[in-house]
Amino acid sequence: MLQYGRRERERERERERERERNVEMSKIEEYLIYLFTPPSIFLVDHAWTYRVSDCRPQLEQIPGLLERMAALMDVQPEERTKEEIIEDILQQMWK
């Protein structure tokens, strides 16, 4: 029972750190956009909402997601296994 509570607290701390990182990145991106292009208008296409721990399973299970993300990230699927394509997509996401 104690171990379960400890794991749950660790998971909650990790979720909180992830939320903080997302807020910080958002602030930085907002500032950079304003700093370099104040009169511009941006259209953002939100392609996929995910948790880092769910990326691989979602790419494997959600119909059409793998193909769409491969196209968006210019990952060539020809003559490659699904696992190789997923690995390339995950690598591209963190560049």
Q: pTM value?
A: 0.52
Q: How many helices (H) and strands (E) does the chain have?
A: 4, 0
pLDDT tens, position by position, 42-80 = 666 678 888 888 999 999 999 999 999 999 888 998 889
Domain that includes residue 23, residue range? 1-40
Q: Are 61 and 28 in a shared domain? A: no
**Same domain (yes/no): 85, 70:** yes
- Dist. CA 23–CA 44, nearest whole Å: 17
Q: Are residues 51 and 94 in the same domain?
A: yes
Tell me: do 18 and 51 sit in the same domain. Answer: no
Query: Which residue reads 């059409």 in tokens?
Result: 64
Q: Both 36 and 1 in a single domain?
A: yes
34 shares a domain with 65: no
Domain count, the chain: 2
